[in-house]
Amino acid sequence: MSQPVIKTQCPYCGVGCGLEAVPTASGDWKIRGDRDHPSSLGMVCVKGATVMESVNQDRLLYPMFREQLDRPFRRISWEQAFDEITSRLQHLRTSPDAIAMYGSGQFLTEDYYVAQKLIKGCLGTNNFDANSRLCMSSAVSGYMQSLGSDGPPCCYEDLDLCDLAFLVGTNTAECHPILFNRLKKRHRLGSPLKMIVVDPRKTQTAEAADLHLGIRPGSDIDLFNGIAHLLLRWGEIDSLFIEDCTQGFARYAALLSSYEPETVAQRCGISLEDLIQAAKLWQGSRAVLSLWSMGLNQSSEGTAKICSLINLHLMTGQIGKPGMGPFSLTGQPNAMGGREAGGLSHLLPGYRSVRNSAHRADVETFWGLPRGSISAQPGLTATEMISALEAGSLKFFWIAATNPLVSLPDLERVKKALRKSPFTIYQEAYYPTETAEYAHLLLPACQWSEKTGVMTNSERRVTLCQRFQDPPGEARPDWEIFAEVGRRLGFSQHFSFQNAAEVYAEFVALTENRPCDHSGLSHSLLAEAGPQHWPHPKVQTQAKIQDPARLYTDLRFPTPDGLARFIPYHSRGLAEPPDPQYPFVLTTGRVYGHWHTQTRTGRIDKIIKMHPQPFIEIHPHDAEKLALQEGDPVQVRSPRGQAYFPAKITRAIAPGTVFVPMHWGSLWANQAECNALTHDTSCPASGQPELKACAVALRKA
């Protein structure tokens, strides 16, 4: 009997395109877009189309162990690996904050959930953080501060309904290509859609815009407040919405008085005409959809940037209706699921907070744990974990499904800290990776296609990703590894799951009546009915099912009084502005074909050919001053380290700013790690580091 076509979701970016795995006559699987998936309608980009090519290459097959980092790994059994883990954890039971886990937006929701139960519930430390801290945590805290809860209020259909797309700090054409194509198609077809792109680089996204605002790195808040100043001056505000649905407008309006357009244009490095044109486009639009990603989030004032953007939507009433609202585009395929499952160090499952005693009590009761089991103290963020390793207070560091030895800022510091770690576990599908070099124990994990579970994409749509092939060697699903450790530590009754569907059933029950209510969802429903938006409550009252694709359609917000908040912020500027010693601003980002640290895409020939090497973009004026020709090697230095890249001379980048892609670690290129240069100064509210900007010096190498 022939095998059926299997439905799943792309394991790369937060667009979350639906995929189908189709069995071939030779016994392999072919991947194609799933035309029935409502988020993507059969479309995929090069990453989704080629994902199968990476699945069977360079896999970590068995647990491997070494006592010291300068020794070779030796193969051990899972039994020995679990003994090693549990004996060390038992030893630390009285000092749980010496334990930390650093997980990933590549986890399935089931992986995230079981990890939270083990680390935060049973072990009693909130030291669980994920690489989403580098990606979306500013969006989380911005939504929380302004709207009272996390969760993007919009959906992809809004791309078809907006008449102004305001794209800020997002190279959507390369990073979320399927969404951008949807916008671009409308734009080309002569619809009334207008596009403003705010980005210091003239990216492919900016090329397609009606108005490109090439602002100075770090001047986003000035721009938002400057547009708001003009709208207020022109009387283009929604007074009724402000009166009925918000609080704090008077303070915001007072702050805006100092944002004279001439000053704002000068601070942002744009013309006064362009600033006025942007405000006029806002003024004339019926439905404004703001889209953003790392350009806002990866900032030492990321939360302030998000709130300042949301302020614009609140003052114009551009929220809660089709085609409008502030819409963060998630980086990773299941960063959203991680937030729902409590996968950051200040969160608990169901959009709960560790700081909230009622939330802790809810979760403890649900998990059947004694009151006080969950710590009231937020755990360490990703970068704080590195500081704790340096300080010697972290004794047990468990990294899973991420490659921090490429992706964390200030890599030399991270490497030194990891060398000091008394015990590091690295749970991963691939070997070698840059991070494996710093581990004592390697645990082979299943990846996409080899395990079943769910992911939530940027529009809050949950997709069941079915397993369709066996894992290689002795690889296991992440959640099974966490559950086995829990059982061996004496928490058998808490980890008696027989399969991922049971894990998911427990998780959704814990979300009941929470803003991210999944309680009506199950693996079987998702398999039968296909992908679903949340909220999806078990009890579907009329009010709750009105429009699950959009939040806040009743113009009430999940704050204590139901009102959204104007949170006024002035900008503090870049944490590390250029100076005479380091006169350039380095900004970083992605290219179309590669994914993050190339763990998968670095193993796919077609993508390697598209992007064979890293590069540094530099404006012709700067190149001339430095006597650089196209392709010349450039030494780039920051106060923390150095790296080398061939010059790409282009007017796409403004003078004084340079751009380097983030994907190349030491495995793929020699001394071309962009994070050797970046710093870890983070947003005080979100803990997200400013990966988007640091000061550098250049010279011809």
Q: Kindly list the residues in this chain that would bind ligand SF4 in the complex (CB under 6 A).
A: 10, 12-13, 15-17, 44-45, 47-48, 176-178
Residues 6+ positions from 94 with CB-CB distance below 8 Å: none
Q: Work out the burial of residue 5: count CB atoms within 10 Å of its CB; fewer than 13 is exposed, 13-18 middle, 19 or more buried.
A: middle
- Nearest residue to ligand SF4 by CB is 48
Task: Please report how close the Cβ of residue 408 comes to ligand SF4 at its closest, in angstroms.
Answer: 22
Q: How far apart are the first and last CA of the chain?
A: 62
Shortest approach of ligand SF4 to residue 345 CB, angstroms?
27
Q: Which is nearer to ligand SF4, 43 or 516 (CB)?
A: 43
- Considering the complex, what minimum distance in angstroms separates the CB of residue 165 from ligand SF4? 17
By DSSP bridging, strand 288-292 and strand 325-328 are parallel
Cβ nearer to ligand SF4, comparing 329 with 446: 329
Q: Residue 47 Cβ, how far from ligand SF4 at the closest point, in Å?
A: 4
Q: Which of 366, 350, 394, 329 is nearest to 128 (CA)?
A: 394
**Smallest gap, in angstroms, from Cβ of residue 210 to ligand SF4?**
24
For residue 519, give the nearest of 505, 508, 531 by alpha carbon. Answer: 508
Tell me the C-alpha to C-alpha distance, in Å, between residue 146 and each of 60, 313, 568, 572: 44, 11, 10, 19
CA atoms within 13 A on the CB side of 264: 27
Nearer to ligand SF4, 12 or 65 (CB): 12
Structure tokens at 160: 């078809």
| Nearer to ligand SF4 among residue 13 and residue 278 (C-beta) | 13
Nearest distance, CB of residue 137 and ligand SF4, angstroms: 20
Backbone angles phi, psi at 618, to 5 degrees: -145, 140
**Least CB distance from residue 18 to ligand SF4, whole Å?**
9
* 3-class secondary structure, 558: coil
Closest listed residue to residue 428, CA positions, set 36, 668, 131, 5: 131
- For ligand SF4, the closer CB: 318 or 599: 599
Nearest approach in angstroms of CB 43 to ligand SF4 is 7
CB of 156 or CB of 495, closer to ligand SF4: 156
In the chain, the amino acid numbered 443 is L
Question: 17 or 616: whose CB is closer to ligand SF4?
Answer: 17
Ramachandran quadrant class, 52 (left: phi over 0; alpha: psi -120 to 50; beta: rest): alpha
* Residue whose CB is less far from ligand SF4, 15 or 52: 15
Cβ atoms within 10 A of the Cβ of 4, count? Answer: 11
The rounded Cα 676 to chain-centroid distance in angstroms is: 21
As measured in angstroms, the least distance from the Cβ of 400 to ligand SF4 is 21
The two three-digit tokens of residue 477, written as one number: 């699903």
547 contacts 553 by C-beta, under 8 angstroms: yes
Minimal distance, residue 288 CB to ligand SF4, in Å: 24
The neighbour count for residue 513, using CB atoms within 10 Å, is: 13
Q: Extract the tokens encoding 294.
A: 């790392």
Residue closer to ligand SF4 by CB (options 44, 347) is: 44
Please tell me whether residue 456 adopts helix, strand or coil conformation: strand
- Report the residue number, 12 or 143, with the smaller CB distance to ligand SF4: 12
